[in-house]
Amino acid sequence: MIYSRIAGTGHYAPEKVLTNADLEKIVDTSDEWIRTRSGIERRHIAEDNQTTTDLAEQACRAAMESAGVGPADIDFIVVGTTTPDLVFPNVGCLLQNRLGIHGCPAFSVETACSGFIYGLSIADKFIRSGEAKCALVVGAETLSRIVDWTDRATCVLFGDGAGAVVLKPDTEAGILSTHLRADGRYHELLTARSGVSVQPAGDALRDGYNVRMAGGEIFKVAVKSMGSIAEEALVANNIDKSEIDWIVPHQANIRIIQALSKRVDVSMDKVVLTLQEFGNTSAASIPMALDVAVRDGRIRRGQLLMFATFGGGLTWGSALLRY
């Protein structure tokens, strides 16, 4: 039996930091409100000339170095992003060129905050089938470009960043399972309507361009969907929750994560949190948190990890794996 296994991890956060105190000068908010309602203290923001591919490149270089692989080894690239540099070429291709890799499949998946888990699931299947031997799976975002900096309900939540893993085949697990879900009935709860095919005119374009969110409703759906998809993963693998060493959840809101921890009955000291530093970086949030906890020594080889995510679409998913 062939499994895919994470051989290396990397992340990159832009140098520019925007604190809650900085946001107090931009919108009618307070450090206290942001901390208590979301858990976020800072977020990193890309420079004007830094694109999603720039961020992804740094994360990939770090992941490749930690896996001990070079450009010639990579034969599959998938990038979860909802803020691509361009309509096309996709970020996978731009990244491939930047890293000096040529010829292998390279593409993006556009499932908002679930992009990394969707990408991980796809790459896992390519590795298991033998069609890929060394995959780069990336989550990268420049959300600051689509955030409405006049809307206090959303602009305080998001940040920019990238995370990446190198996946390789192994006879020992590895990724035990991935579960993906989507339900388009809820598409209006979380949107960024800057369209290509949809082209609202004039003020409607400005008005509808940026991130819009029904925060309270999303909150409820997030807790429910992440909880059920995490439980589904445990049942599918006949693994008890007590065996989980770390949950690495999508970093949207500390209260959502606390509710998830309660629901799956895994204590908060087994949950990796990076939202205080990075905010919600959408598809990048899980691989960034993973890399932080690997590099600071919390996550060690052989430990059992649960990833759980949700995002616009709505989309949600989980992965259960041995690191």
Q: Judged by CB under 6 A, how many residues of this single chain contact ligand UT7?
A: 20
As to burial, measured by CB atoms within 10 angstroms (0-12 exposed, 13-18 middle, 19+ buried), residue 216 is exposed
Interface with ligand UT7, residue 253, by CB under 6 A: yes
Q: How far is the CB of 59 from ligand UT7 (least distance, A)?
A: 19
Task: Report d(CA 236, CA 238) in Å as an integer.
Answer: 6
Q: Give the whole-angstrom CA distance, residue 246 versus residue 266.
A: 9
Asked if 224 is part of the footprint of ligand UT7 (rule: CB under 6 A), the reply reads no
Complex with ligand UT7: residue 34 or 55, whichever CB lies closer: 34
If one asks whether residue 37 binds ligand UT7 (CB under 6 A), the answer comes out as yes
Q: Is 216 in the site for ligand UT7 (CB under 6 A)?
A: yes
| Active-site residue (options: 11, 44, 179, 250) | 250
**Which is the catalytic residue, given 44, 90, 93, 113?**
113
Peptide bond into 71 cis (omega under 30): no
DSSP of 259-274: HHHHHHT--GGGB---
Q: Does 153 bind ligand UT7 (CB under 6 A)?
A: yes
**Cβ nearer to ligand UT7, comparing 77 with 211:** 211
| 182 is a site residue for ligand UT7 (CB under 6 A) | no
- Note if 60 is an active site residue: no
Decide if 171 contacts 2 (C-beta within 8 A).
yes
* Residue 193 in contact with ligand UT7, rule: CB under 6 A: no
- Could you give the CA distance from residue 251 to residue 271 in angstroms, rounded to a whole number? 11
Strands 76-80 and 135-142: parallel
Examine the residue annotation and report whether 113 is marked as an active-site residue of this protein: yes
Active site residue 44: no
CA–CA gap between residue 183 and residue 201 (Å, rounded): 28
* Interaction of residue 132 with ligand UT7, rule CB under 6 A: no
Which residues of this protein are in contact with ligand UT7, per CB under 6 A?
29, 33-34, 37-38, 113, 152-153, 156, 190, 213, 215-216, 218-219, 222, 252-253, 280, 311
Positions marked catalytic: 113, 250, 280
